[in-house]
């Protein structure tokens, strides 16, 4: 048991630090823009960020699928397949990134047609989008590389890369906003510069530490059986992820309809949800790596034990975060904004932020377990059920009575339903995982 806990923590602690650096960056962006004069800048990065969440989370399979497949190849001690998985992912990432740049105009037109923000917010959000889209190839490249390292049971290099990229992003943002007075555009420019720094640094690490040659053996890379498995897995993950992003984007879009102050409050409070998600995702990523490894090695006893232990660790962290939010809620809010009206309004919805760590951890951990098992079909089905049968109906049924609370109620029950459905499905799916 000690050995399994050590394996969990060796992966989880760097993963937690890696994951928390992501909402840290987003929180710094929110805090920087939240202290500018005018709420429209905060609304701009909220809507601009929502659009990129939808785009990039749609490509989330590049990380999630890569981790599970690589971890299973690692458990089988199949080094050739490990390298081929990386090359397949990188080809898709580069082509996908270039396609996003070429299609940026129709993407922007559709996005701003669907999102109903104020005219001033939309002007700055559009400018933010037109700058940040140029980071697409580097961003998607990083998804594959980070997923591959995790599958190789190495969480320290992703930690190093993420910290370097995010700290440089903060530095670039400060320079562009404080020195050059670029407002919300400075956040977009900072992201572009930082992502390409990570792009070149990843190349260097793969060559220096893994002796990776990047030779293109198209016959093996385009093997029909391997590609069928790759795209089947990734199609399910894409549908699952787009359903999740739809729910989160719906949340932001409906927040905008309640006015600039509510949008600002919900943007800040959702940062706290994301800190929770990325924190517990450290254990979810450990689950991906270890579950995949033990399935690849056909080690069923350790597979069972690792699932149990990761739940203990993940839920324990969730309780700790809930206590921090409860006792330090107002202090945390003051970090994000100095506007008293926003802080006072946020207090009306604080209960949802305190409850979130006690509820959301279950589905986050299950996500990692299912991804490690490359059981993307079940993840897809659960997400579709929870998005369109739970989240959307609950919002519309309670909107007139509860107002903005209806959004938070719908999001909370959405997360709860995900945990319940994945727990139920696991009972019937486990015997299929061990036959992989």
Rounded Cα gap, residues 2 and 217, in angstroms: 42
Rounded Cα gap, residues 275 and 264, in angstroms: 17
Rounded Cα gap, residues 135 and 132, in angstroms: 6
From the list 209, 124, 192, the residue with the least C-alpha distance to 158 is 209
Rounded Cα gap, residues 6 and 226, in angstroms: 33
Q: What is the pTM of this model?
A: 0.76
From the list 371, 372, 370, 374, the residue with the least C-alpha distance to 422 is 370
Complete DSSP assignment for 150-185: HHTT--HHHHHHHHHHHHHHHHHHHIIIIIS--THH
Contact 226, 307 (CB under 8 A): no
Contact 208, 68 (CB under 8 A): no
Reading the chain (436 residues) residue by residue, the pLDDT tens digits are 557 788 888 888 887 777 666 656 556 666 666 656 656 667 777 777 778 877 887 787 888 888 888 988 888 888 888 888 898 888 889 999 999 999 999 988 888 787 766 677 777 788 888 888 999 999 999 989 988 998 888 888 988 998 898 888 888 888 887 777 777 778 888 889 999 999 999 988 988 887 776 666 666 777 777 667 777 777 888 888 888 878 988 888 888 888 878 888 888 888 888 777 777 888 888 888 898 888 888 888 888 888 999 999 988 988 998 898 888 888 888 877 777 888 888 888 889 988 988 898 889 999 999 988 888 889 999 999 999 999 999 999 999 899 899 999 999 999 999 999 999 988 777 766 666 4
């Amino acid at each position: 048991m000690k050995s399994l806990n050590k394996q969990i923590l060796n992966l989880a602690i760097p993963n937690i630090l890696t994951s928390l650096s992501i909402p840290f960056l987003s929180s710094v962006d929110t805090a920087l823009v939240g202290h500018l004069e005018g709420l429209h800048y905060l609304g701009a990065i909220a809507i601009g960020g929502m659009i990129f969440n939808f785009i990039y989370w749609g490509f989330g399979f590049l990380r999630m699928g890569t981790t599970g497949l690589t971890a299973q190849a690692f458990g089988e001690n199949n080094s050739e397949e490990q390298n081929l998985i990386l090359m397949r992912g990188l080809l898709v990432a580069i082509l996908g990134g270039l396609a996003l740049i070429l299609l940026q105009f129709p993407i922007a037109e559709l996005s701003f047609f669907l999102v109903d923000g104020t005219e001033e917010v939309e002007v700055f959000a559009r400018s933010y989008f037109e700058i940040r889209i140029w980071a697409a190839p580097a961003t998607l490249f990083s998804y594959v590389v980070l997923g591959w390292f995790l599958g190789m049971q190495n969480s320290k290099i992703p930690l190093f890369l993420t910290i370097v990229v995010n700290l440089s992003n903060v530095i670039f943002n400060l320079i562009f906003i404080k020195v050059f007075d670029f407002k919300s555009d400075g956040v977009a420019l900072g992201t572009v510069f930082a992502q390409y720094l990570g792009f070149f640094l990843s190349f260097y690490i793969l060559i220096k530490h893994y002796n990776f040659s990047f030779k293109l053996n198209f016959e093996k890379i385009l093997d029909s059986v391997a590609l069928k498995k790759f795209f089947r897995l990734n199609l399910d993950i894409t549908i699952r992820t787009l359903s999740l992003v739809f729910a989160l984007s719906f949340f932001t879009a409906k927040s905008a309809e309640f006015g600039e102050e509510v949008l600002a409050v919900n943007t800040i409070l959702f940062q706290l949800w994301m800190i929770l998600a990325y924190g517990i995702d450290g254990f979810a990523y450990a689950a991906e790596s270890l579950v995949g490894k033990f399935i690849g090695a056909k080690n069923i006893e350790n597979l069972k034990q690792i699932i149990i232990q990761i739940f203990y660790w993940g839920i324990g962290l969730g309780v700790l975060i809930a206590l921090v939010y409860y006792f330090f809620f107002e202090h945390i809010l003051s970090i994000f904004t100095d506007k008293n009206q926003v802080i006072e309004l946020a207090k009306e919805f604080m209960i949802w932020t305190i409850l979130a760590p006690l509820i959301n951890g279950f589905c986050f951990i299950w996500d990692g377990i299912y991804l490690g098992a490359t059981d993307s079909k079940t993840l897809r089905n659960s997400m579709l059920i929870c998005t369109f049968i739970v989240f959307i109906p609950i919002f519309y049924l309670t909107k007139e009575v509860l107002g903005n609370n209806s959004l938070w109620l719908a999001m909370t029950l959405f997360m709860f339903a995900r945990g319940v459905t994945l727990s139920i499905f696991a009972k019937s799916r486990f015997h299929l995982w061990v036959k992989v």
